[in-house]
């Protein structure tokens, strides 16, 4: 279990359970009572609704108050024959997004054991009924920590005595119903779970990073190479224990349900003998899907009962791993999947995936931070965009693939008050000077951009060349306030740090001018060279340029100068086996206040044909560049 676990609303499971055991009572949760407020805030209560415990009589038979208590069943269990996807059947709530995520969770013990901690200890013990206290707890990942949510075992049932919401195919199994109740409590009430994004639930249940993939069905139907590349991406993610779900936006007539979340539980490449040609085999890409409703919907090729299965014997199916394990599962060809499905969500498990290094920081979009608004909106709002919080990271050595995830605080609990909608959020990544440590005041080069979505999380995966970068998490419109968590995952150890608004108090002596130098390129030199930019006591060095053609350094540096009249030098060096040799140098002076000045300069000595191309900007205002 991750180190940081916090108790939701201050309720400690172990303390509450000990209290109930000592007094011989079953737990009644005062913070999530068996009443209408825990169920709905808009919907009307169904007729005949009541709250019942799975089993009370054998536990509290000595107490007269419980003698006439109506139980749900006689021999309840948290689990019956373990945990599987068939334990999940969606009830009368429109929360298939959550049920689909839990069905993915149920297939991986290392995951559900985090959400259902010490599950054996929570199980009903028929030999020690006196220990049962009617209390359970579950854990969900929220904003960088696992939140422990306590619930009692009172569950809403309909007039016919059946559970109103999520339930197992086995009537005496209750883990899914109790887990749903804990999630409802975390989000305010059961109705708050109506409608949602599977990616949100996957993050809550795993602490992973969800990457939405929008499928271009037209391109995938025409390009076999694109289909194979997508299949390989999903297969690699599944092999690394990633959780994958998908859904359809448009209306279907093939048994699939529009707007319904499905889980992908397996991907297989199989060879099937072609009946029309002797000795030849055709390679098929197949997916195993699951409908959280527990029904098999797909009526096309390789669906349950389709004639395609006649090409493979039952024995060969088992050898190929083409079994259907649970109710609601079915196979379909990947080409059909690409034709019908529009969206895929891949939830990568951080602890198991290739993104082994992680850095995360929380922040706020606030109107009154540092006497300046820190909720400046997206980059379209040029006057306020750079007022947003800024986070710096550095890529060293070589190009690095980095996964960046921005997550906003969950607002679902506010739905009761009519303010439960997510903010449209996104972020920009700017490439900045290699030695910058202060806030960015000018947008010079955009390195990556996310889309803006009213989702709990937005993710971008991109490759970054060596250098420094600043991430600006933003809301779409200025003035929107809220909390957020910024996470970064990479192969090497890349650290995020907040860029402080005030950085000059530690600089001694106090600078008077700030100058940026952009070393663009050098013509007339062969590969194997590098450059050094020197200004007063500071210097910045480029990597050795090894590619063919004229060196394209594209190096940006920033200097806080005490003596603005002293020149800045750019030295060109050739990398040697034993020692490096200096090829030449250019020196330049800058005005105390200038913007975007271009310089084209020949080397002062050495190779006279070499030409250096530069751009500089200077300002007397140290927070201007």
User: Whose CA is closest to 408, among 471, 453, 369?
Assistant: 453
Partners of 104 in the β-ladder? none
**Spatial distance between the Cα atoms of 392 and 430, rounded to a whole number of angstroms:** 9
Partners of 330 in the β-ladder? 289
**Spatial distance between the Cα atoms of 522 and 549, rounded to a whole number of angstroms:** 10
Q: What DSSP character marks residue 543?
A: P
Is 260 marked active-site? yes
Active-site option among 95, 187, 291, 388: 291
Is 338 marked active-site? no
Give phi and psi for 53, each to the nearest 5.
-95, 150
**Spatial distance between the Cα atoms of 421 and 40, rounded to a whole number of angstroms:** 17
User: Whose CA is closest to 101, among 207, 198, 241, 17?
Assistant: 198
Active-site option among 20, 96, 378, 535: 96
Active-site option among 137, 260, 387, 518: 260
User: Whose CA is closest to 445, among 322, 611, 283, 556?
Assistant: 556
Burial 270-292 (b: 16+ CB within 10 A, else e): beeeeeeeeeeeeebbbbbbbbb
β-strand 482-490 against 529-535: which pairing, if any?
unpaired
Alpha carbon distances (Å) from 458 to 109, 127, 446, 486: 27, 49, 18, 10
Is 291 marked active-site? yes
**Spatial distance between the Cα atoms of 422 and 192, rounded to a whole number of angstroms:** 13
What lies within 8 Å, CB to CB, of 607 at 6+ separation is 524, 525, 583, 584
Alpha carbon distances (Å) from 221 to 226, 336, 620: 9, 9, 59
User: Which residues are designated catalytic?
Assistant: 96, 260, 291
């Amino acid at each position: 279990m991750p180190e940081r676990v916090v108790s939701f609303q201050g309720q400690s499971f172990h303390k509450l359970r000990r209290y109930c055991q000592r007094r011989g009572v079953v737990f009644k949760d005062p913070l999530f009572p068996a009443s209408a407020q825990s169920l709905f805030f808009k919907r009307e209560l169904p007729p005949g609704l009541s709250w019942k415990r799975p089993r009370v009589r054998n536990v509290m038979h000595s107490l007269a108050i419980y003698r006439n208590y109506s139980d749900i069943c006689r021999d309840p269990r948290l689990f019956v024959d373990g945990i599987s996807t068939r334990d999940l059947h969606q009830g009368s709530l429109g929360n298939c997004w959550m049920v689909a995520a839990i069905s993915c969770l149920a297939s991986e013990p290392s995951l559900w054991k985090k959400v259902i901690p010490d599950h054996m200890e929570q199980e009903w013990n028929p030999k020690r009924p006196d220990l049962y206290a009617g209390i359970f707890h579950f854990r969900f990942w929220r904003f960088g920590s696992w939140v422990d949510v306590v619930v009692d075992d009172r569950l809403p049932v309909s007039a016919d005595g059946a559970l109103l919401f999520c339930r197992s195919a086995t009537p005496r199994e209750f883990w899914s119903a109790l887990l749903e109740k804990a999630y409802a409590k975390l989000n305010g009430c059961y109705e708050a779970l109506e409608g949602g994004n599977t990616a949100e639930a996957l993050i809550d249940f795993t602490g992973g990073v969800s990457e939405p993939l929008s499928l271009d069905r037209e391109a995938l139907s025409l390009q076999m190479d694109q289909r194979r590349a997508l299949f390989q991406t999903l297969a690699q993610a599944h092999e690394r224990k990633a959780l994958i779900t998908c859904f359809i936006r448009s209306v279907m007539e093939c048994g699939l349900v529009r707007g319904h979340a499905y889980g992908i539980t397996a991907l297989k490449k199989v060879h099937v003998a072609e009946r029309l040609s002797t000795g030849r085999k055709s390679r098929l890409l197949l997916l195993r899907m699951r409908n959280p409703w527990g029904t098999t919907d797909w009526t096309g090729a390789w669906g349950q009962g389709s004639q395609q299965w006649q090409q493979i014997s039952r024995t060969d199916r088992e050898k190929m791993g083409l079994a259907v394990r649970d109710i609601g599962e079915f196979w379909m060809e990947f080409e059909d999947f690409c034709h019908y499905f529009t969206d895929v969500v891949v939830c990568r498990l951080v602890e198991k995936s290739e993104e082994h290094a992680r850095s995360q920081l929380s922040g706020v979009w606030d109107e009154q931070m540092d006497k300046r608004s820190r909720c400046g909106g997206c980059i379209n709002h040029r006057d306020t965009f750079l007022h947003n919080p800024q986070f710096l990271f550095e890529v060293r050595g070589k190009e690095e693939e980095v996964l960046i995830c921005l997550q906003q605080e969950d607002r679902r609990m506010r739905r009761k008050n009519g303010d439960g909608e997510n903010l449209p959020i996104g972020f920009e990544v700017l490439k900045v000077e290699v030695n910058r440590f202060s806030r960015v005041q000018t947008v010079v080069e955009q390195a990556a951009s996310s889309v803006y979505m009213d989702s709990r999380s937005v993710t971008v995966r991109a490759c970054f060349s060596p250098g420094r970068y600043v991430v600006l998490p933003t809301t779409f419109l200025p003035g929107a306030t809220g909390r957020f968590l910024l996470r970064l995952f990479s192969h090497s150890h890349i650290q995020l740090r907040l860029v402080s608004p005030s950085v000059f108090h530690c600089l001694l002596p106090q600078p008077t001018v700030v100058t940026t130098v952009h070393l663009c390129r050098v013509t007339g030199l062969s590969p194997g060279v590098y450059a050094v930019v020197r200004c007063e006591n500071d210097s910045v060095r480029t990597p050795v340029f090894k590619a063919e053609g004229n060196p394209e350094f594209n190096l940006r540096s920033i200097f806080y100068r005490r003596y603005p009249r002293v020149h800045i030098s750019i030295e060109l060096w050739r990398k040697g086996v034993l020692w490096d040799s200096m090829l030449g140098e250019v020196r330049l002076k800058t005005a105390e206040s200038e913007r975007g000045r271009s310089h084209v300069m020949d080397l002062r000595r050495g190779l006279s044909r070499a030409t250096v191309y530069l751009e500089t900007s200077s300002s007397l205002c140290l927070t201007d560049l």
